[in-house]
Amino acid sequence: MRRPTLAAALLLSAAMSATPAAADPVADAVRADMPSLIEIYRDFHANPELSMQETRSAARLATEARRLGFEVTTGVGRTGVVAVLRNGAGPTLLIRADMDGLPVSEQTNLPFASRVRATTREGAETGVMHACGHDTHMTAWIGTARRLAAMRDQWSGTIVMIAQPGEEIGVGAKAMLDDGLFTRFPRPSHAIAFHDSASLPAGTIGYSVGPALANVDSVDIEVRGVGGHGAYPHTTRDPIVLASRIVTSLQTLVSRETNPLDPAVVTVGSFQSGTKHNIISDRANLQITVRSFTPEVRRRLLDGISRIARGEAIAAGVPDDRMPVVTVREAEYTPATVNTDPFTTEMAGLFRQRFGAERVRQVQPVMGGEDFSRYHLADPAIQSLIFWVGGVPEARWREVNGDTSRLPSLHSPFWAPDAEAVISTATEAMVSAALGVLRRS
């Protein structure tokens, strides 16, 4: 029998899921699994690990996948996990969860709050917290694996579930690809992931068509002046004054050199110089984050930073051998994440059929970064979607009337999502999406 098109499969899936939630086998199974999943979530939350150090988390995910019958490979891209479930002919679907926590000391006062301390790559001791919700991502990954393994009779194809390290520092996806993700394992035709959201009410799904998250660049500028005594500034070339001019001029890159219809951000996040009141330093250091959606805008901003830094130094009379040194940290670059269409629109329609229109909304792209982008960029034929699942507890949402500026954001030490709503919604959405792609004819 000829395999149905994706659109036909989605209509079939929608028809099957249009019955009341109480009679829906996916929703019922997820609901029954929630006590176990919440226990797992609390364990992940209490035991976060820094980027590229996710050995404990990876081991638990690998153990669960093996128990379900997946072919499991560990140590991919250092600490990544690849779990493959083959179930006849059909598409290959990649499902990703990220594992790493952040160097943040938790202040939620949850009974299972993290008290973990660890050492960063730079050698600093720090508290560690799942302040970006990757604990919910891993737990929903397990919930999704359980459901799909139990529903083999309803789909056909191959599922590649990956647990990715190092998303927070933008290196994990590249590390897994460089370690043969698309050559050692089945190459996906489709890829999906989700991220919990501090900007949506708990259990609400948000999606963007096209650009969803931004290019992210980190830029360092070493401003080199001529130091001296604070009482005799005329004998110096003050790097603090020069760096201040650079900071001010950088604002024109967005306000005067970028089309107002092209989103862009240039933020100076760190300005460091000097040691004492009466000493003019010989250097200042700036750290800048640069955000954009297109390669053209990205290149214009990066070139503009170098031009402005040199131009201001020339205007200040800095000698040629003391020109500013501008370094773009290419190893930390995260490319923009783009949700492909019509796949994204089709998945959104499936979600609306399952959850109702009031729980699924199209949202604006954000200037945050996500290295999930690299899977589609490695093979543009892959249909790709990352969506949001709201985590703001209902009572808190009502309290601020939806004004999330008054609530903890992702990366905040106070971020405590409604984990049950996030995990149950994400698991049900992932399973539904997988069935939409892989539905057996």
The packing angle between helices 239-255 and 295-315, to 10°, is 150
Give me the pLDDT at residue 21, please: 41
Q: Residue 382, Cα to own-chain centre: how many angstroms?
A: 19
> What's the CATH number for 215-332?
3.30.70.360
Between 268 and 11, the more confident residue is 268
Domains 6-213+336-438 and 215-332 share a fold: no
Listed in order, strand segments (DSSP E) in 295-341 are: 325-328, 337-339
If you average pLDDT over residues 168-197, what whole number do you get?
A: 98
Residue type, 16: M
Residue among 98, 100, 106, 282 flagged as catalytic: 100
If you average pLDDT over residues 194-223, what whole number do you get?
A: 98
Buried b / exposed e over 76-99, threshold 16 CB at 10 Å, is bbbbbbbbbbebeebbbbbbbbbb
Residue type, 210: G
Read off the pLDDT band of 6 (50, 70, 90): low
Evaluate the omega torsion of the peptide bond into residue 342 and state whether it is cis, within 30 degrees of 0: yes
If you average pLDDT over residues 380-388, what whole number do you get?
A: 98
If you average pLDDT over residues 141-156, what whole number do you get?
A: 98
Buried b / exposed e over 238-249, threshold 16 CB at 10 Å, is bbbbbbbbbbeb
Give the number of other CB atoms < 10 A from CB of residue 168: 22
pLDDT in tens, 369-383: 999 999 999 999 999
Residue among 167, 196, 217, 282 flagged as catalytic: 167
If you average pLDDT over residues 90-110, what whole number do you get?
A: 98
Give me the pLDDT at residue 122, please: 87
If you average pLDDT over residues 40-45, what whole number do you get?
A: 98
Give me the pLDDT at residue 441, please: 61
> What's the CATH number for 6-213+336-438?
3.40.630.10
The domain ranges of the chain are 6-213+336-438, 215-332
Q: Do 372 and 388 form a contact (C-beta atoms < 8 A)?
A: no
pLDDT above 70: residue 16: no
Residue 6 tokens read as: 């994706």
pLDDT in tens, 233-267: 999 999 999 999 999 999 999 999 999 999 999 99
The H or E element spanning position 134 is helix 134-150
If you average pLDDT over residues 34-58, what whole number do you get?
A: 98
pLDDT in tens, 129-147: 999 999 999 999 999 999 9
pLDDT above 60: residue 293: yes
If you average pLDDT over residues 384-400, what whole number do you get?
A: 97
Question: What is the rounded CA–CA span in Å between residue 386 and residue 382?
Answer: 13
- Counting residues of the chain whose pLDDT is more than 70, the rounded percentage is 95
Listed in order, strand segments (DSSP E) in 165-311 are: 190-201, 205-207, 210-213, 215-224, 228-229, 264-273, 279-280, 283-292
DSSP 226: B
* Averaged pLDDT score across all residues of the chain: 95
Using CA of residue 434, residue 435, residue 437, residue 441, what is the dihedral sign?
positive
* Whether 167 is catalytic: yes
Give me the pLDDT at residue 440, please: 79
**pTM for this entry:** 0.91
**What's the CA angle centered on 170, arms 168 and 171, to 5 degrees?**
115
pLDDT above 50: residue 4: no
Give me the pLDDT at residue 12, please: 47
* Whether 100 is catalytic: yes
Give me the pLDDT at residue 3, please: 46
pLDDT above 60: residue 20: no
If you average pLDDT over residues 294-310, what whole number do you get?
A: 98
